[in-house]
Chain A
Amino acid sequence: MQEPAIGRAVPRREGRAKVTGRARYVDDLTLPGMLHGVTVRSPQPRGAIRNITYGDGIPWNEITVVTAADIPGRNIVTLIVEDQPYLAHEIVNHAEEPVLLLAHADRHLLEEARRRVTIEMDPLPAVLTMDEALEKKEIIWGADNIFKSYRVGRGDVNAAWVNATTIVEGEYATGAQEQLYIEPNGMLAIADSASGVTVWGSMQCPYYIHKALAGLFGLPAEKIRVVQMETGGGFGGKEEYPSIIAGHAALLAWKSGRPVKLIYDRAEDMVATTKRHPSRTHIKTGVDSEGKLVAMEIDFVIDGGAYCTLSPVVLSRGTIHASGPYFCPNIRVSGRAVATNVPPHGAFRGFGAPQSIFGLERHMDRTAAAAGIEPDEFRKANFIKPGQMSAVGQMMRDPVDMGAILDRALELSNYHEKRRRFALEPANGPVRKGIGFSTFMHGAGFTGSGEDHLASIATVEVSRDGRIRVLTASTEIGQGTITIFSQIAADALGVDIDDIDIVQPDTSVVPDSGPTVASRTCMVVGKLVELAAHALRRTLSAVGLPDEGYSRDEFHRCCRIHVEHNGSLSASAQYAPDKDVKWDDERYEGDAYGSYAWAAYVAEVSVDLTTFEIRVDDFVAVQEIGKVINPVLATGQIEGGVAQAIGWALSEDVVWREGRMVNAQMTNYIMPTSVDLPPIRVFFEEVPYPNGPAGAKGIGELPMDGPAPAIANAVAHATGLDVRRIPLTPETLTALAEVAVG
């Protein structure tokens, strides 16, 4: 058999297309007779639409206009709760809410036309902050402005405080963050009542869009086709949002009878689409004389924006991750997602966990200091061990030694020596140095019974010309889906990587493998690919394929024989509930995730006390991830996630005015450039997860959890300032310093 592909740095299979500019993204497509589309959006955060007027000087008779009245099916974006319309009809609930759509062949004329549409509104009082939402002076959603709340916990927190010798309280806040994929959202659609609807576009989840369009048009599933084009980054920003832009492009195509391409302008994409949920976490911890946590109370609030969308799931993940990789016998976590009149917030790598973990890891350092214990000793005294139960009632079984992972990270970063030296050394001019860390875990896959409900399917088939085709709905969005699925399938079948074709996700061709989210693509869907491949092998035993030890040529010969006799060869695998994973949906407790990846991150910073600029000088990321399928791709995931989290921690500031992002340009929303990042040093450990392909766990979101609190802890070490919120811009740090001084 071949040398195994898993574990090798197999080059990205679509790499050649990407480095030559031949990879095809949606805006690279044109169809004959194509029109361009544009969205006309609400100018106000909340109000009743009184009138829409179309200004002079535009040939309106040439322009396709779509309003809510033109929707053939239901004007509801299918997700969790049926509250969000594709197009606002009478009431607008956030600034930039889509009201109507225009299409024309001339993009410049179209932009002129968009500016000449006036949406007259009678304003209603808008709720613009989490506090205002919770005050309930104005109810904008449901009965109480709360999309969802959770309560998880164990033991008796109220009774446990008496056993604490040190009690620390604090409040921590994180801001919104724009995903800022370099390719904006875009869709190309054709639609008519006879043949149905087809959309090509930039997306993470073809079947989410498929379901959404079926409802929008009132058409059966077979009449809807969704095709993923090369996608220039997603990070969650193209998880749920694309259903809306796909619906809009399709509505214009439906009404005009022409293909319509709708590509968002960058400023539009930033101001109108989803961002990371802002959060506020209040934590109170009690520690006994031995440094052990005896009581923990966490109140976690996230801002969901104007419509429910995915906020309940973001809240769920943030709530479950709020207590971190620690054991505390008495713990209570309450989570709430509230409604405000801003564009709905949505999925972004980490999905609630980075928010709650920021608060926790900052609080752990503060608690350690109050108790007179070194921060690393404090963590080690409290890491959850196999056999202990998490806050949500999961018996931890992973034989992972977090203390050893932390020690390794501290050694690689020279933490102890630097921690001492930076505190003792006289300042080098205005620059103070600091070093800090965070320890955390991240659960991969859908929470609880989520994977059971998804019931994902993967298919492996052999084509007439002997090519092996892998069919899933998992999208390549840069993380390496195509390459790792090829490695998994090649090893499972005993063939060459180059024999494998990963089929372009097209709902008319591939099965529903669930969405490309939640760090599940390798761990869950990759496992199904492995199982389907094994099933294919077993089918071939009927034509003489040995159980093992066969050559690549023998495999291909058996495939040919089978296809000649039977016409086709294909095998599928469907996700089966893991008997060992017990989750109670009603009481919201049990085994929340099949597996966790574990990590310790260390950040070394310089803080300039004249300008209050912060630089990260060195960054060490140590994580245990089950199995490294492809070292280059896995390292790339960690480096990229750390970079995004450094941006979230230091420079990515969404500035709000009247419910709208006012710095909606790359010029004034600052993401890290090549000169803004430290060396990011990545180290892996492997404790195989039995249910992952070759033992692999999910890792896509893990790196988002650690950097921000590690940096905040490092800045606190450097300056003595009690950092509580991010982004830690120079302005924020200045204000903190001023409070400390006077």
Chain B
Amino acid sequence: MSRLLDALRTSLHLTGTKEGCGEGECGACGVTIDGRLVNSCLVPLIHAGGTAIGTIEGVAIGDQLDAVQQAFIQYGGAQCGICTPGMVLAARALLERVPDPTLEDVRHALAGNLCRCTGYMRIFEAVLAAVKQRGQTGAGA
């Protein structure tokens, strides 16, 4: 049985979405299905039929990074980078629901995305900085 993750990485050559555990724990395989964040390693491909899938490749528009991506670079939110695509999508999913989150909101929204490198501090700072940036430019790209 094929997983959505395999279809993305192998059939569509969209390798930005990563496999970290295959059991839905680490969040590195995060994508959106009709705007909802899911672990694609747990989605049978057949369930994704007829839906709109959002991956990390769709976040930047051409060379223009979105506010979360820019903040991750500026504030050190990415170290080894393997959790970063899933983490960026999870942060964006939060900001869609809660445009002005507290630190607690951010912690809870990212609890499904494991990062072994950063200890999360720089990631929180990046997300909260992105909130300000999005506010200034009038919601996000």
Contacts and interface: CB of A to CB of B under 8 A. Distances in A.
Contact of B18 (A20, A25, A265, A680): A25
Interface in B63-93: 65, 69, 72-85, 88
Contacts of A28: 9, 15
Contacts of A641: 119
B93 to A, nearest CB: 14
A482 B69 CA distance: 19
The 7 A-B residue pairs with the shortest CB-CB distance, nearest first, are A21-B16, A232-B82, A478-B80, A18-B81, A643-B119, A478-B79, A21-B56
B80 A22 contact: no
A632 interface: yes
B110 interface: yes
A235 B78 contact: no
Given A182-B26, A665-B25, 10 more contacts: A11-B73, A181-B80, A182-B28, A182-B82, A231-B80, A478-B80, A636-B79, A636-B118, A642-B119, A674-B120
B120 A677 contact: yes
A64 B18 CA distance: 28
B59 interface: yes
A23 interface: yes
A393 interface: no
Given A477-B80, A640-B118, A674-B113, A11 B123 contact: no
A428 interface: no
By size class, the interface of chain B is: 35 or more
A27 B21 CA distance: 13
B117 interface: yes
A525 B53 CA distance: 44
Nearest to A642: B119
Nearest to B58: A21
B69 to A, nearest CB: 4
Contacts of A480: 79
Nearest to B106: A674
B32 to A, nearest CB: 14
Contact of A671 (B77, B84, B114, B124): B114
Given A19-B65, A20-B60, A265 B22 contact: yes
A28 B19 CA distance: 10
A183 B107 contact: no
B111 A16 contact: no
B82 A25 contact: yes
A427 interface: no
B73 A15 contact: yes
A233 B120 contact: no
A19 B73 contact: yes
A513 interface: no
Given A20-B59, A265-B22, A479 B107 contact: no
B131 to A, nearest CB: 16
A591 interface: no
Residue from B80, B88, B121 with most neighbouring chain A CB atoms (10 Å): B80
Taking each of B17, B20, B106, which has the highest tally of chain A beta carbons within 10 Å of its own beta carbon?
Answer: B20
A636 B122 contact: yes
Nearest to B126: A19
A162 interface: no
A233 B22 CA distance: 17
Contacts of B97: none
Contacts of B83: 182, 232
Interface in A650-709: 665-667, 671-675, 677, 679-680
B121 A266 contact: no
A675 B108 contact: yes
B115 interface: yes
Interface string A247-259: 0000000000000
A289 B72 CA distance: 54
B121 A181 contact: no
Nearest to B1: A108
A126 B16 CA distance: 44
Contacts of B115: 182, 674
A633 interface: yes
A27 B22 CA distance: 14
A624 interface: no
Contact of B117 (A9, A266, A640, A666): A640
B19 A27 contact: yes
Contact of B114 (A9, A12, A25, A666): A666
Contact of B23 (A478, A666, A671, A680): A666
Interface residues of A, number: 56
Contacts of A17: 81
A368 B19 CA distance: 49
Contacts of B123: 674
Nearest to B110: A674
Contacts of B74: 11
A2 to B, nearest CB: 20
B57 interface: yes
Given A639-B119, A674-B123, A230 B81 contact: yes
Contacts of A19: 65, 69, 72-73, 77-78, 81, 84, 88
Given A233-B116, A674-B123, A183 B18 contact: yes
A516 interface: no
B55 interface: yes
Nearest to B122: A636
B56 A266 contact: no
A665 B23 CA distance: 8
A428 to B, nearest CB: 20
Interface in A14-53: 14-25, 27-28
B140 to A, nearest CB: 14
A214 B77 CA distance: 39
A644 B116 CA distance: 7
A680 B114 contact: no
A77 to B, nearest CB: 25
B116 A20 contact: no
Contact of A673 (B22, B85, B114, B124): B114
Interface string A623-634: 000000000110
B78 to A, nearest CB: 4
A184 interface: yes
A180 interface: yes
B22 A639 contact: no
B75 A20 contact: no
Contact of A675 (B26, B80, B111, B122): B111
24 contacts: A19-B69, A19-B72, A19-B78, A19-B81, A21-B15, A21-B17, A25-B82, A27-B18, A182-B80, A182-B114, A184-B20, A233-B82, A233-B117, A235-B116, A266-B22, A636-B79, A636-B118, A639-B119, A639-B120, A640-B79, A640-B119, A643-B120, A666-B21, A680-B121
A478 B19 contact: no
A635 interface: yes
A673 B28 CA distance: 13
Given A16-B65, A233-B82, A183 B20 contact: yes
Contacts of B55: 21
A633 B65 contact: no
Nearest to A665: B23
Most chain A Cβ neighbours within 10 Å, of B16, B55, B117, B123: B117
A234 B115 CA distance: 13
A665 B65 CA distance: 34
A233 B80 contact: yes
Contacts of B116: 179-182, 233, 235, 640, 644, 671
